[in-house]
Amino acid sequence: MSIPLVYVGGSARSGSTLLERLLGGIPGFCSVGELMFIWERGLKRNDRCGCGARFHDCAFWTQVGDVGFGGWSQVDADEASWLHATLDRHRNLDRIARLRHPGKLKAAMAAYADLTDRLYQAVRTVSGASVIVDSSKHVSYALLLRDLPNFDFRLVHLVRRSHGVAHSWSRRVRKPGVGDGSSFMSVHPSYWTVGLWIADNLLYDIVARQLPRTTRLRYEDLIADPNAQLRRILGELDLAAVDQTFSFLDAASAGLPATHAFSGNPMRLRQGSVVLRLDDDWRTAMSRPRRAMISAATWPLLRHYGYSIAASPHPRP
Cα–Cα distance for residue pair 40/263, rounded to 1 Å: 11
pLDDT digits (tens, 9 = 90+) for 210-256: 899 999 999 999 999 999 999 999 999 999 778 888 999 987 899 98
Question: 3-state SS of the chain: helix, strand, coil percent to 5?
Answer: 50, 15, 35
Q: Are 72 and 65 in contact (CB under 8 A)?
A: yes
Give yes or no for residue 301 having a pLDDT over 70. yes
pLDDT at 169: 84
288 domain residue, yes or no? no
Domain with residue 34: its CATH number is 3.40.50
Q: Are 118 and 150 in contact (CB under 8 A)?
A: no
pLDDT digits (tens, 9 = 90+) for 74-121: 999 999 999 999 998 888 888 888 888 988 899 999 999 999 999 999
pLDDT band at 317 (very low <50, low <70, confident <90, very high): very low
In the chain, how many domains are there?
1
Residue span of the structural domain in which 62 resides? 3-279
317 domain residue, yes or no? no
**Nearest C-alpha neighbor of 255 from the set 226, 279, 235, 234:** 226
pLDDT at 250: 87
pLDDT at 185: 60
Cα–Cα distance for residue pair 151/313, rounded to 1 Å: 44
Average pLDDT over residues 9-31: 93
Cα–Cα distance for residue pair 44/63, rounded to 1 Å: 17
213 domain residue, yes or no? yes
Order of strands, edge to edge, in the sheet holding 29-33?
29-33, 131-137, 3-10, 151-159, 214-218
20 domain residue, yes or no? yes
pLDDT band at 170 (very low <50, low <70, confident <90, very high): confident
pLDDT band at 174 (very low <50, low <70, confident <90, very high): low
Q: Are 216 and 159 in contact (CB under 8 A)?
A: yes
Torsion 33-8-222-175 (CA) sign? positive
289 domain residue, yes or no? no
Cα–Cα distance for residue pair 240/6, rounded to 1 Å: 13
296 domain residue, yes or no? no
Average pLDDT over residues 12-19: 92
Cα–Cα distance for residue pair 276/260, rounded to 1 Å: 21
284 domain residue, yes or no? no
pLDDT digits (tens, 9 = 90+) for 188-202: 788 899 999 999 999
Residue 284 neighbours by CB under 8 Å, 6+ apart: 313
292 domain residue, yes or no? no
Cα–Cα distance for residue pair 154/132, rounded to 1 Å: 10
